[in-house]
Chains A and B, each alone.
Chain A
Amino acid sequence: MSAIATHEISKRYGDLVAVDGLDLDVRRGEIYAFLGRNGAGKTTTIRMLLGLIRPSGGHVEVLGQRVRPGATDVFARVGYLVETATAYPNLTVRENLDIQRRLTGAPRAAVAEAIELMRLDAQADRRAGVLSLGYKQRLALARALLHRPELLILDEPANGLDPAGIVEVRELLQSLTSEYGVTVFMSSHILAEVAHLADRIGIVDEGHLLEELDREELHARERGHVRVGASEPQRAAALLTEAGFAHVELADGHLRVFDAAERVPEIARVLVGAGIALTELAPAHEDLESYFLRLTAGVQ
């Protein structure tokens, strides 16, 4: 069973289409990173997953239950953080977490555990209104984790955290997944962080899912490719595939031949032998950031 399944969900605000026929399938126990530029539809999607807004079309299932007004039981098993971290400014960190404890039915000890987990001990009796951005974020994460949810839906979880805090959250999410089987669905702008953390990555733009990559595909990209400029790119791609190069892509008028760093001479032989002129032949690698920028720039 999927942790999250969206079925052709869309959200329209008048003429503006924020999300358009999005199908997502997040497996249990995985960390799924949801990437996109500002306004790509990430937060709108997250809000629909949580029932904060209703889809204009399609429907959402979370932990096997359809999300709809009044269906609240499932949220006992979901922890979340949407956009900016917010809390009651006149209440202390401990009091803010006590509200979450009461509403989720968690035991009393859960508050102290969440405080310890997010290293908020020194701030526990300070009012939330005077906390720094980083500590507010920690409080919001503590709130999301307090009742030990099976599914975490986190919108920019590293927002406002310092580098040490980012590493800490990364390790925390990894341990929650590996030790307790928690599923994490997160959006992020910190692509290097996502590349370290995610089991799968979905890239969204203008409300569409452009591409999904799993960890192996992502690492294959990072392992590198050979960039080929050829006089007849289409025919060159077909020839290379025929010659046994398993992963050939055509983009921006250039070919990218993956897992071929050791076979550059062979590429040259195949193409020149077929009468194709080469304008470029160079090993390259593409990290998630470049891939993301290329992919999302291509749809503008």
Chain B
Amino acid sequence: MIFAQVLATEFLKLRRSKVTWLSLTVLSFGPLGIALFMWIVKEPGRAAQLGLLGTKANLSGLSATWPAYFSMLTLVVGIGGMLMLSFIIAYVFGREYADGTAKNLLAMPVGRQWFVLAKFVVAAVWWLALVLAVVAEALAIGGVLALPGFSAGLALGGARDALLAAGVAYLLAPVVAWITTLGRGYLPPLGFALAMLALGNVFAKTGWALWFPWSIVPLSIGMVGQPVQTLPLGSYVVVAFTFLAGIVATILQTRYADNTQ
């Protein structure tokens, strides 16, 4: 019962927030970017006339079809989502410190863990709504492009893959939340997320990729588009541990750390 009330307050806090619309605007550029590539591949002559990267896009081996379009959408939602989710988490948790309202929540007849869990739910719902909106946008743009090979089954499969990739990206969100509560603001989590993405890229080029969460998650997202690849069980254990440890660390930080705001 009390969790329902806390959850209601957390959703109320998003009212009139410009950040929700900003996040939608930023992510909606994803399908537009993919559509541009599709159009370049589909109409290389016209694209070259307009001075666009026709030759390069052709060389990348893309085909202007619905399956290729959905495959790219999955990657954009998954990999781009890792960064977008860091922004969402930084906002949902960090605003309490930026607005100075964290202290107003900490001496309440409500266990502090409920605030943490409610914020994770809000971030997940926000993220889900964004992904659904972007999938709908992608379907509309794909329709306008008149890409070949459309079927209802393919569209459902594409939407499923995008949601699955979005879910995989969410596994790293709790650690970002912990960094937010530790650093008490927006900048530490954003700096952390960027650093981890860069490190993940570095590790991806070494033998450690299967053991570093920020390398494993992009690999998993890639696997959603290409299910033939596999990861060892240890990689799943590392990501599961990162997810759970992030939640536990955020709760402990909120419960025990001094708030001197």
Interface string of A160-201 (1 = CB under 8 A from B): 000000000000000000000000000000000000000000
Q: Are B13 and A105 in contact (CB under 8 A)?
A: no
Whether a CB of chain A sits under 8 angstroms from the CB of B15 is yes
A53 CA to B259 CA, complexed, in Å? 6
> Contact at A52–B103, with CB atoms within 8 Å?
yes
Distance of A88 Cα from B259 Cα, bound (Å): 18
- B227: Cβ under 8 A from any A Cβ: no
Flag B10-42 by CB within 8 Å of A: 1 or 0 each.
001101111000000000000000000000000
Contact with B along A43-71 (1 / 0, CB 8 A): 00001001111100000000000000110
In the complex, whether B157 has a CB less than 8 A from a CB of chain A is no
Contacts of A104 in B (CB 8 A): 108-109
Judging by beta carbons under 8 Å apart, are A86 and B99 in contact? yes
A99 B111 Cβ-Cβ under 8 A:
no
Our pick among A54, A72, A75 for the contact of B256 (Cβ within 8 Å) is A54
Residues of B bordering A, CB below 8 Å: 2, 5-6, 8-9, 12-13, 15-18, 99-101, 103-112, 255-256, 258-261
Which residues of A, 70-88, contact B by the 8 Å Cβ criterion?
Answer: 70, 72-76, 78, 80, 82-84, 86-88
- A90→B112 CA distance, assembly (Å): 23
Residues of A close to B106: CB separation below 8 A? 50-52
B38 to chain A, nearest CB (A): 38
Measured CB to CB, the closest approach of chain B to A13, in angstroms, equals 9
Point out the residues of chain A lying under 8 angstroms from B104, CB to CB.
86, 100, 143
On whether A86 and B12 interact (CB within 8 A), knowing A47-B260, A103-B5, the answer reads no
State whether A86 and B100 are in contact (beta carbons under 8 Å apart), knowing that A47-B260, A53-B260, A91-B12 are contacts in the complex: yes
In the complex, are the beta carbons of B16 and A103 less than 8 A apart?
Answer: no
A54-B108 in contact (CB<8A): no
Point out the residue from A47, A70, A100, A102 that lies within 8 Å of B259, measured CB to CB. A47
User: What is the size, in residues, of chain A's interface with B at 8 Å between Cβ atoms?
Assistant: 34
Taking a contact as CB atoms under 8 Å apart, the answer to whether B13 and A99 are in contact is yes
Given the known inter-chain contacts A52-B259, A86-B99, A89-B99, please indicate yes or no for A105 contacting B15, CB distance below 8 A.
no
Chain B residues whose C-beta falls within 8 Å of the C-beta of A87 in the assembled complex: 99, 101
C-alpha gap A69/B254 in the complex (Å): 10
User: With A and B bound together, what is the CA distance between A104 and B106 in angstroms?
Assistant: 12
State which of A53, A83, A95, A143 has its C-beta within 8 Å of the C-beta of B12.
Answer: A95
Residues 127-138 of A, flagged 1 when their CB comes within 8 A of B and 0 if not, give 100000000000
CA distance A95 to B110 in the complex (A): 19
Judge whether B255 and A70 touch: CB under 8 Å. Answer: yes
Contact of B99 among A54, A88, A127 (CB under 8 A): A88
Asked if residues A72 and B103 are in contact (CB atoms below 8 Å), the reply is no
Chain B CB within 8 A of A20 CB: no
Using A52-B103, A52-B107, A84-B100 as known contacts, say yes or no to A90 and B255 having CB atoms under 8 A apart: no
Most B CB within 10 A of own CB, among A70, A98, A99, A104: A99
A selection of 27 A-B contacts at a CB cut-off of 8 Å is A47-B259, A47-B260, A50-B106, A52-B106, A52-B260, A53-B259, A54-B256, A70-B111, A72-B108, A72-B110, A72-B112, A78-B107, A82-B103, A86-B100, A86-B103, A87-B99, A88-B101, A90-B13, A90-B18, A91-B13, A95-B15, A98-B9, A99-B9, A99-B12, A102-B9, A103-B5, A127-B16
Q: Which residues of chain B are near A69, meaning CB under 8 Å?
A: 255-256
Beta-carbon contact of B108 and A90 below 8 Å: no
Contact of A102 with B5 in the complex, beta carbons under 8 Å: yes
| Given A86-B104, A105-B109, A98:B255 Cβ within 8 A | no
Cα-based distance from A250 to B100 in the complex (angstroms): 46
With both chains docked as a complex, state the minimum distance between the C-beta of A129 and any C-beta of chain B, in angstroms.
9
Tell me the complex Cα distance, A95–B14, Å.
11
Say yes or no: B6 contacts A103, CB within 8 Å: yes
Q: How far is A49 from B66 in the complex, measured between Cα atoms in Å? A: 62
Partner of B13, one of A51, A88, A143: A88
